[in-house]
């Protein structure tokens, strides 16, 4: 259509040009000038109009083209925007997925971290993480329990400040980290006697690139060491006991013969028996003279010595035979407090006698729980144990070589109470105590520090057997030189023994 308009435009142009040119043709005649001028003007106007139209038409055409191009551009732009929007949406979705994934991973990580934390905290071992310069990076619950410092108070601080009692130096920790080889130190002892604590210590160097340092682990093995010591002691006592029992059996018969013989000699030389006078008369011997002779030559004295020594040996032998006796003594329920009181009444005389020789009689202070449940066993044997321990305490005061002015008044504490489902009996004196060397051997048969003839060294070994073998209890000693001695006996209660026996017989029944 535009082309058609242009065509018309050009026709007008030609017409205009012709109108301009033709007057020039006509102008050759003078009369035709005005008309020719008019036509020329009209022609020029036509030419101008045509040129104007053509210009306008061109600009319209250009306008249209520009609008079309603009429209095209707009369509393209919209398409590209849609495309971009789509791609942005996709990226956005991917990002959202990624964020969700990260969040899930983070939750999982936190859960795993919490789980690992709870595992570490649930462990009874003290676990401490440190950097090579000794700054604390990890502090578990056991460490908190041990030191009283919570993780907030310990983390980031020097180990030597927060755990000064740690039985290892910072140099060893640094050396272990540098070497990369774990360090282990077992059975570290702190304190003495029953206050002694045993620890196993390990240092594990951390080898991860991100974490250079070490983990220090501390295990309290006091209970294990005590049980091991008791087992060793038990083993030793068992073998020594068997040996002693064998010897006792062997000695028992000849000893009986000796004692019997002495008794017979004493009876048959006695002036009080008519039968002796009769036989002497038959033989023409003066019994009274013979008696005087024997007396003068101290034969009766020697016989008395033989009898005394024999009876003493018999006592030792009967004590030694305690080892071989099985756990078949008549066991019954009894009130431990009543037995303690009864033993004290019985021993009153003995203690008085033993303390009379220039020594002060020790005060006996009793702290006996009135509501102690009954225990099961042989009351007579327990009484024997209490007597042995009381006698030892009194004898310890007698042998006390400390300056009397400096040493405190002799006191024996006798306690009976309930602790963790067991009846506890404690006999404590403030006497001279024992050295570590003596303390280690006191439960061994025939171990004594007393002079020959003063002690057999069987009192505590027999007591040990009575408590551990016959009563399934425990006996422990706590003693320090110059600080006194405390024996602690634990006996199972009657209901627990019943329960133990029932469950034992049930389990052995089910194995059949």
Ligand X SMILES: Nc1ncnc2c1ncn2[C@@H]1O[C@H](COP(=O)(O)OP(=O)(O)OP(=O)(O)O)[C@@H](O)[C@H]1O
Closest distance between ligand X and the C-beta of residue 448, in Å? 3
d(CA 31, CA 19) in angstroms, rounded, equals: 17
* DSSP string computed for 90-152: HHHHHHHHHHHHHHHHHHHHHHHHHHHHHHHHHSSSEEEEE-TT-BEEEE-HHHHHHHS--HH
Q: Which is nearer to ligand X, 234 or 449 (CB)?
A: 449
* 463 sits near Mg ion (criterion: CB under 5 A): no
Q: What residues are paired with 487 via a beta bridge?
A: 427, 477
Q: How far is the CB of 435 from ligand X (least distance, A)?
A: 9
CB 442 to Mg ion: min, Å: 9
Comparison of 140 and 384: residue with beta carbon closer to ligand X? 384
Provide the minimum distance between the beta carbon of 306 and ligand X in the complex, in angstroms, as a whole number.
21
Count residues contacting Mg ion (CB under 5 A)? Answer: 2
Total binding residues toward ligand X, as defined by CB under 6 A? 21
> What is the SS3 assignment for 189?
strand
Partner touching 450 among Mg ion, ligand X, none, CB below 5 to 8 Å by kind: ligand X
**Under rule CB under 5 A, which residues in 464-503 are in contact with Mg ion?**
none
Rg (CA), the chain: 58
Asked if residue 400 lies in contact with residue 407, where contact means CB atoms within 8 angstroms, the answer is yes
Residue 261 interacts with which of Mg ion, ligand X, none, CB < 5 to 8 Å by class:
none
* Piece of the chain touching ligand X by CB under 6 A; list 30-38, 292-300, 386-394, 401-409: 386-394
Interface with ligand X in residues 405-434 (CB under 6 A): 429, 431, 434
Which one, of 456, 465, 317, lies nearest residue 384 by Cα? 465
Q: In terms of C-beta density within 10 A (0-12 exposed, 13-18 middle, 19 or more buried), how is residue 264 classed?
A: exposed
Shortest CB 455 distance to Mg ion, Å: 6
Of 176, 392, 479, 497, the residue at the interface with Mg ion (CB under 5 A) is 392
* 47 contact, one of Mg ion, ligand X, none, CB 5-8 Å limit per kind: none
Write out the H or E segment, with its range, that includes residue 313: helix 299-324
**Interacting partner of 449 out of Mg ion, ligand X, none (Cβ under 5 to 8 A depending on kind):** ligand X
Tokens describing residue 473: 């209890």
We find the least distance from the C-beta atom of residue 440 to Mg ion, in angstroms, to be 17
Chain position whose Cβ is nearest to Mg ion? 459
Helix, strand or coil for residue 333? strand
Toward Mg ion, which CB reaches closer, 153 or 355?
A: 355
Name the residue nearer to ligand X (CB basis): 43 or 459: 459
Give strand pairing partners of 199. 188, 220
| Residue 398 binds which entry of Mg ion, ligand X, none, CB below 5-8 Å type-dependent | none
The helix/strand/coil state of 180 is coil
Nearer to ligand X (CB atom), residue 13 or residue 230: 230
Beta-strand (E) ranges in 19-105?
A: none
Q: Give the Cα separation of 20 and 24 in Å (integer).
A: 7
* Residue 347 sits in the site that holds Mg ion (CB under 5 A): no
- In this structure, are residues 486 and 479 in contact, taking their beta carbons and an 8 Å threshold? yes
For ligand X, the closer CB: 139 or 323: 323
d(CA 317, CA 319): 5
**DSSP per position, 152-172:** HHHTTSBHHHH-TT-SS-HHH
| Interaction partner, residue 434 (Mg ion, ligand X, none; CB < 5-8 Å by kind) | ligand X
User: Which single residue is written with the structure tokens 């329960």?
Assistant: 499
Residue 459 contacts Mg ion per CB under 5 A:
yes
Q: CB-wise, 343 or 392, nearer to Mg ion?
A: 392
Q: Which of residues 445-504 bind ligand X (CB under 6 A)?
A: 447-450, 455-461, 485
Residue with CB nearest ligand X?
A: 459
> Residue 36 or 390: which CB sits closer to Mg ion?
390
**Closest by CA position to 483, among listed 439, 417, 424:** 439
Q: How far is CA 49 from the centre of its chain?
A: 113
458 binds, among Mg ion, ligand X, none (CB under 5 to 8 A by kind): ligand X
Q: Which residues bind ligand X (CB under 6 A)?
A: 388, 392-393, 396, 429, 431, 434, 438, 442, 447-450, 455-461, 485
Residues in touch with Mg ion (CB under 5 A): 392, 459
């Amino acid at each position: 259509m535009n082309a058609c308009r242009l065509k018309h435009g050009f026709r007008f142009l030609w017409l205009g040009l012709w109108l301009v040119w033709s007057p020039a043709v006509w102008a050759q005649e003078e009369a035709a000038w005005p008309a020719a001028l008019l036509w020329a003007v009209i022609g020029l106007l036509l030419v101008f109009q045509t040129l104007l139209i053509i210009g306008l038409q061109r600009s319209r055409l250009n306008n249209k083209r520009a609008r079309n191009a603009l429209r095209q551009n707009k369509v393209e732009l919209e398409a590209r925007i849609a495309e971009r929007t789509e791609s942005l949406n996709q990226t956005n979705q991917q990002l959202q997925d990624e964020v969700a994934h990260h969040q899930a991973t983070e939750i999982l990580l936190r859960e795993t971290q919490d789980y690992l934390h709870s595992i570490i905290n649930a462990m009874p071992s003290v676990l401490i993480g440190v950097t090579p310069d000794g700054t604390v990076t990890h502090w578990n619950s056991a460490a908190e329990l041990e030191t009283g410092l919570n993780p907030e108070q310990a983390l980031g601080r020097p180990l030597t400040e927060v755990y000064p009692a740690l039985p290892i130096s910072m140099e060893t920790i640094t050396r272990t980290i540098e070497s990369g080889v774990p360090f282990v130190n077992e059975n570290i002892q702190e304190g003495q006697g029953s206050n002694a604590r045993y620890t196993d210590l390990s240092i594990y160097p951390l080898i991860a690139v991100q974490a250079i340092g070490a983990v220090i682990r501390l295990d309290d093995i006091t209970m294990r060491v005590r049980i091991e010591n008791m087992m060793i002691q038990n083993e030793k006592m068992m073998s020594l006991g068997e040996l002693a029992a064998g010897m006792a059996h062997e000695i028992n018969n000849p000893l009986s013969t000796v004692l019997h013989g002495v008794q017979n000699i004493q009876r048959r030389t006695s002036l009080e028996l008519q039968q002796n006078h009769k036989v002497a008369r038959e033989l023409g011997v003066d019994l009274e003279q013979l008696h005087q002779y024997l007396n003068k030559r101290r034969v009766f004295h020697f016989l008395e010595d033989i009898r005394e020594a024999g009876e003493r040996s018999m006592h030792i032998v009967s004590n030694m035979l305690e080892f071989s006796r099985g756990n078949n003594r008549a066991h019954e329920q009894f009130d431990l407090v009543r037995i303690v009181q009864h033993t004290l009444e019985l021993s009153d005389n003995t203690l008085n006698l033993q303390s009379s020789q220039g020594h002060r009689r020790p005060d006996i202070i009793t702290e006996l729980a009135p509501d102690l449940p009954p225990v099961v066993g042989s009351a007579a044997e327990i009484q024997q144990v209490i007597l042995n321990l009381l006698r030892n305490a009194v004898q310890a005061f007698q042998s006390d070589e400390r300056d009397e002015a400096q040493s405190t008044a002799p006191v024996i504490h006798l306690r009976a109470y309930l602790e963790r489902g067991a009846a506890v009996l404690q006999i404590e004196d403030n006497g001279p105590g024992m050295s570590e060397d003596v303390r280690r051997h006191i439960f061994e048969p025939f171990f004594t520090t007393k002079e020959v003839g003063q002690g057999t060294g069987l009192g505590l070994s027999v007591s040990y057997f009575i408590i551990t073998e016959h009563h399934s209890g425990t006996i422990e000693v706590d003693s320090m030189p110059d600080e006194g001695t405390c024996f602690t006996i634990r006996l199972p209660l009657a209901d627990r023994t019943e329960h133990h026996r029932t469950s034992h017989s049930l389990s052995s029944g089910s194995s059949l």
